Amino acid sequence: MAERQTIDARGAFCPGPLMELIAALKLAQIGDEIEVLSSDKGSVNDIPAWVTKVGHANVGTTEKDGYWSVVVKKAK
Amino acid sequence: MSKTILIVGGGLAGTIVANGLCRQLGSELRTGAVNITMLGTTETHMYQPGLLYVPFGKIREAELFREQRKVLDRRVNFFVDPAKHIDVEKNQVATEHGRTIKYDYLVLATGSRIMPQNIPGMKEAGHWFYDLDGARKLRDAISNFQGGKIIVNVNAPHKCPVAPLEVTLMMHEYLKAHGLWEKSEITYTYPIGRLHALEPVAHWAKPEFDRIGIKYETFFNTESVDPEKKTIKSMEGVELPFDLLITIPPHAGAEVIDASGLGKGGWVPTNPKTLHRDGSTNVFVCGDTTNIPISKAGSTAHFEADVLIDNLVSLVTEGRFARDYDGKVFCFIETGLNSGTYVWFNYTTPPNPGPPSQMIHWFKLAYNRLYWLSARGLL
């Protein structure tokens, strides 16, 4: 059954939101969703761009109170 | 009745915690009110950051090792008996040699390990320096290298986040010093869209790489390595040829963590401030074992351990918590064979590396020996 996990990478300088996502995707099953919370606005572009490039799915990006939620689904 | 503090893992994190507790709980240990037990996997303690110097012949292997029993305070009950199953509901740990140890407080410090086998072809064709055997093989490969294409390949997740930059810059200086630079090319690959996770470090590294002629390929997450064709391919669709592949393999946490249902991949969900295992009040996590989104590095383990020591001592003696971990990390960065800089940051302060200097390099070399004072809880 598909799972959903949240990575709270707000304020994380190293390794940062995208690197955390890459590591989490390696452990996820196809169909699992991963939500990344990031206070770095760059994540709003970086994460979806990389996800599209490698063939996973962008579920959505939402602006919250001072941070962003980026949800990704493992597709392969 | 004596309270048992059980530490699983005898690396830097567990060792600092054990020694620090002994220093602060002297009277409780003397009266038997507290006992401290450690389960390790080996008789020897290795200074892991020293492995960076092995491929370049810049450190003697003997400097990397001490007997764990001599690094540990003699009041610690130390067993070379790896944990086999950790039961946080029953407050007990079963070991490979058949022991079952009950605890009042548990510290999980099981660390991380390299997993080159997770990428097809990497184990066969790659060299690395994140364990002693790999560092020795890389030393031999470098000494036989007569020029060609070198790839320094970084994979997520990995510990010691500045080591890939360090080995790249040291390799460049090595090649220059041996008259091989004109016949060689170094390409550095990195998983995200810049040269380092830390943005200021990436901003420093890019012009430096451009200046000295190191090539780079960002957004490169390794899919496979072809040992026969000597090529490495990324998930992003880029394929690069190599004569020498120096890889920083992806890492995983300890198998016992996963097998005990405490965290996928061996990483334990951990409160970033209190260092409690999520869902437990008497289980703490330290060092690489946590899933906290910060650097997996010796300094992280050290600063977390300092907080854990204060909190465990306060809990045992006063029944209260002492302080939160603030996310502090400090890393030296070797910028060649004779210069270095450093970077520090925490949850609220961004990193800001200064200009490299020979003095910081010397201080790093001094720290290579001072480490043993850190492990003993003295520094």
Taking only the tens place, the pLDDT of each residue in B15-25 is 999 999 999 99
Is the C-alpha dihedral spanning A18, A29, B250, B300 positive or negative? positive
Q: What is the mean pLDDT of residues B282-294?
A: 97
pLDDT above 90: residue B246: yes
Q: What is the pLDDT of residue B42?
A: 97
β-pair partners for B108: B8, B285
Q: What does the block give as tokens for B88?
A: 């946080």
pLDDT digits (tens, 9 = 90+) for B58-93: 999 999 999 999 999 999 999 999 999 999 999 999
pLDDT in tens, B299-343: 999 999 999 999 999 999 999 999 999 999 999 999 999 999 999
- Burial letters B71-97, b for 16+ CB under 10 A, else e: bbbebbebebbbbbebebeebbbbbee
Minimum distance, in Å, between the CA of residue B17 and any CA atom of chain A: 24
Residues of B in contact with A15 (CB under 8 A): 156-157, 161, 197, 293-295
- What pLDDT sits at residue B377? 85
Count the residues in chain A. 76
Q: What are phi and psi of B245, to 5 degrees?
A: -105, 115
Tokens of B281: 């009040």
Question: Residue B56, CB half-sphere, CA atoms under 13 Å: how many?
Answer: 20
Q: What is the CATH number for A31? A: 3.30.110.40
Three-class DSSP category at B241: strand
pLDDT digits (tens, 9 = 90+) for B207-217: 999 999 999 99
Q: Side chain identity at B26, as an amino acid letter?
A: G
User: Could you give the angle at which helices B199-212 and B163-177 cross, rounded to 10 degrees?
Assistant: 20
Q: pLDDT tens digits for B155-189?
A: 999 999 999 999 999 999 999 999 999 999 999 99
Q: Would you call B350 and A50 a contact, using CB atoms and an 8 Å cutoff?
A: no
Full residue range of the structural domain in which residue A43 is found: 4-73
- Taking an 8 Å cut-off on Cβ atoms, the answer to whether A15 and B221 are in contact is no
- Neighbouring residues of B366: CB distance < 8 A, sequence distance ≥ 6: none
pLDDT at A28: 96
Q: How far is CA B59 from CA B20, B176, B236, B356, in A?
A: 28, 20, 37, 21
What share of chain B in percent tops pLDDT 70? 100
Neighbours of B253 (CB within 10 A): 25
Please tell me which residue of chain B has the smallest CA distance to A45.
B193
Mean pLDDT of B105-121: 98
Write out chain A residues lying below 8 Å of B191, CB-based. Answer: 18-19, 22
Residue entry with tokens 């690197």? A19
**Are the Cβ atoms of B221 and A22 closer than 8 angstroms?**
yes
pLDDT of residue B56: 97
pLDDT of residue B138: 98
Instruction: Kindly give, in sequence order, each residue whose CB lies less than 8 Å from that of residue B325, ignoring residues fewer than 6 positions away.
Output: B272, B273, B274, B275, B303, B304, B307
At residue B108, the pLDDT reads: 98
CB atoms within 10 A of CB B125: 20
Q: What percent of chain B has pLDDT over 90?
A: 96
Report pLDDT digits (tens) over B188-245. 999 999 999 988 899 999 999 999 999 999 999 999 999 999 999 999 999 999 999 9
The DSSP letter of residue B100 is: E
Cis amide linkage into residue B157, ω under 30° from 0: yes
Is the pLDDT at B1 greater than 90, yes or no?
no
pLDDT score at A40: 86
The predicted pLDDT at position B267 comes to 98
Number of structural domains chain A divides into: 1
Rounded to 10 deg, the angle between the B298-318 and B12-24 helix axes is 30
pLDDT, residue B264, reads 95
Q: Which regions in chain A score pLDDT beneath 70? A: none
ipTM of this complex prediction, to 2 decimal places = 0.93
The pLDDT of residue A2 is 82
Stretch 306-335 of chain B: residues touching chain A, C-beta under 8 Å: 327, 329
> Which residues from B are below 8 Å from A6, CB to CB?
none
Contact B293 A12 (CB under 8 A): yes
Q: Alpha carbon B189 to chain centroid distance?
A: 20
Q: Alpha-carbon distance B260 to B103, whole Å? A: 16
Residue B379 has pLDDT above 90, yes or no: no
∠ at Cα B249 (B369, B162), nearest 5°? 45
Alpha-helical segments (H) within B149-198: 163-177
Q: Which of residues 33-72 of B touch A (CB under 8 A)?
A: none
What is the distance between the alpha carbons of residues B239 and B226, in angstroms, rounded to a whole number? 10
Please report the pLDDT score of residue B105 as a whole number: 98
SS3 B160: coil
pTM: 0.96
Out of A15, A27, A46, closest to residue B265 by CB:
A27
Sheet with A4-8, side-by-side order of all strands: A4-8, A33-38, A68-73, A57-63
Q: Which of A17, A23, A54 sits opposite B157 (nearest CB)?
A: A23
Element (H, E) at B153: strand B148-154
Q: Say if CB B298 and CB B48 are below 8 A apart.
A: yes
pLDDT score of B113 more than 90: yes
Nearest to B303 by CA among B328, B321, B273: B328
B269 and A CB contact within 8 Å: no
